[in-house]
């Protein structure tokens, strides 16, 4: 299996996850800004690999699975570390449980689809959710007040909205997958074999 440039960029993003975790073990404004910087680089790399895959025809099946996995690892690691800070957790644990639980559910649904030979792409709502989560996490990682800006308050406001989108997009993905599986099962019925490939994605 040959790694494409987008896949290498995605693996780089996954490699930044432990870097982010280590930075969040430290306290203070300097460590906070470094963690925010690492998260920003990882987030921008997501758009870089997507741009290359779309415009240079270097997308792959591996990338289809690696890209959302990298996003989930990055967001989940940041949220768990923020919720688990010893002195003052920056994010309520129950919000993290909801968001991470949704990601685990969607990953499990993708595995179910893959076992049936199906690749169900993410909806636009899911992409907006990821973008909003990334925007929300930046000020939460900065945390401290700088230039009279309440970064924590802004981050929590956006995180609430992203949590609502997470639940909505998760339900939407579930319904889409159930529809695809039902249609795929229907094509396997007598008389439907000729149309089976039309439901493979």
Task: Considering only CA atoms, give the Rg of the chain.
Answer: 19
Give bridge partners of residue 146 from the DSSP assignment: 149
Per-domain residue ranges of the chain:
5-199
pLDDT for the residue numbered 198: 37
Q: What is the mean pLDDT of the chain?
A: 81
Q: How confident is the model at residue 183 (pLDDT cuts 50, 70, 90)?
A: confident
- 200: confidence class by pLDDT, cuts 50, 70, 90: very low
The answer on pLDDT for 148 being more than 80 is: no
| Domain 5-199, CATH class in plain words | mainly alpha
| Neighbour-count burial of 117, counting CB atoms closer than 10 A to its CB (0-12 exposed, 13-18 middle, 19+ buried) | exposed
Position 201 scores a pLDDT of: 39
The Cβ-side half-sphere exposure at 109, using a 13 Å CA radius, reads: 23
Please report the sign of the dihedral spanned by the C-alpha atoms of residue 184, residue 54, residue 7, residue 72. Answer: negative
pTM summary value: 0.79
The model's pLDDT over 23-76, given as tens digits with 9 standing for 90+, comes to: 999 888 898 899 999 999 999 988 888 778 777 776 676 767 788 888 889 999
The pLDDT of residue 196: 41
Torsion of CA 18, 22, 27, 30, to 10 degrees: -80
Of 10-24, 37-51, 98-112, 175-189, highest mean pLDDT: 10-24
């Amino acid at each position: 299996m040959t790694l494409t440039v987008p896949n290498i960029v995605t693996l780089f993003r996954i490699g930044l996850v432990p870097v982010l975790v280590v930075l969040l073990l430290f306290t203070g404004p300097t460590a906070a800004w470094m963690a925010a910087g690492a998260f920003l680089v990882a987030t921008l790399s997501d758009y870089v690999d997507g741009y290359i895959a779309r415009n240079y025809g270097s997308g792959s099946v591996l990338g289809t699975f690696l890209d959302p996995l990298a996003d989930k690892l990055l967001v989940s690691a940041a949220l768990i570390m923020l919720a688990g800070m010893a002195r003052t957790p920056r994010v309520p644990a129950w919000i993290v449980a909801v968001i991470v639980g949704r990601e685990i559910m969607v990953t499990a649904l993708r595995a179910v689809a893959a076992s049936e030979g199906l690749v169900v792409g993410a909806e636009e709502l899911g992409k907006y959710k990821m973008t909003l989560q990334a925007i929300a996490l930046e000020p939460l990682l900065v945390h401290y007040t700088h230039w009279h800006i309440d970064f924590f308050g802004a981050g929590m406001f956006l995180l609430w909205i992203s949590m609502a989108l997470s639940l909505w997009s998760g339900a939407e993905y579930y319904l889409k997958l159930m529809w695809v599986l039902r249609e795929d099962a229907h094509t396997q019925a007598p008389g439907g074999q000729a149309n089976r490939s039309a439901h493979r994605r």
